Amino acid sequence: MQYGDLPREFCDFNSARVAILPIPFDGTSTWIKGADQGPTALLEASANMELYDIETDTEPYRIGIHTLAPLPELFAPDAMVEASQARVTQLLEAGKFVVTIGGEHSVSIGPIWAHADRYPGMSVLQLDAHTDLRDEYEGSPYNHACVMARAQERCPITQVGIRSMDAEEKSRLPKGGVFWAHEVVGQAGWEQRAIDRLTKDVYITIDLDGFDPGLVPSTGTPEPGGLQWHPTLAFLRQVFAQRHVVGFDIVELCPNPAAKASDFLAAKLLYRLLAFKFRRELREMAE
């Protein structure tokens, strides 16, 4: 299944600038199950998008977007991390801009590590309701509650939208690098401070529970008081404008067959971020 149900000439692997890697893994989730169905739901929803992006006045699909076969199902989280890191490394070596879709948040560990190896000095921007800084949870250091602890071992992190954590995680919080939901939702002026913390090369990991559950109810661990669509996209647009975004992921979509709005938001979010990433090239192509 190809993202956006694109014409064949725009999803050929050899010519595509973007490679989307689905990782349908739900092996460590601790509440609502179903994140393994997230990639399929996102891809199915993407077939219903308009391919012209109003905000950027571009058609992002024209850069070429190839959707790969899903990473083979692996039940052990450490095996999944190893396999995803290896696959993303291959794609980076092939010159692709890699987008990973999950799957629960542990699927981000391998892609983050692969990008950190490729881009020394890289930082990670996390949009999330949870800090995910446990060193180990339920017997695994690769649990979805540990993803940012594993990321922070390789590179500096900045966290936005946080509104839930365990007391034991406080010692691992990045100093000055947490932008709490109660301080940013409905507020202005924090965005540049967050961007200023980021290094030149940035990887973005987006847990959909970072958004308010009124906007994205279909996620594994919904938390009230979250981020909203337009302010979040305005912030991310500035991140792309001021930094070199090297890759991103969108995770924790737990689709509800009776309510497709979350699926469509995830698909649209992916497309908008590609518009931000390739806006200049797309404008040149249109001239």
Please tell me the chain's helix, strand, coil percentages from 3-state DSSP, rounded to the nearest 5.
40, 20, 40
CATH number at 120 reads: 3.40.800.10
Instruction: Give the number of domains in the chain.
Output: 1
The whole-angstrom separation of Cα 274 and Cα 193 is 24
pLDDT value at residue 64: 98
26-82 pLDDT per residue, tens: 977 777 788 999 999 999 999 999 999 999 999 999 999 999 999 998 779 999 999
118-165 pLDDT per residue, tens: 999 999 999 999 999 999 998 899 999 999 999 999 999 999 999 999
Domain that holds residue 144: 3-286
Q: What is the DSSP string of 117-168?
A: HHSTT-EEEEE-SB----S-BTTBTTSGGGHHHHHHTTS-EEEEEE-B--GG
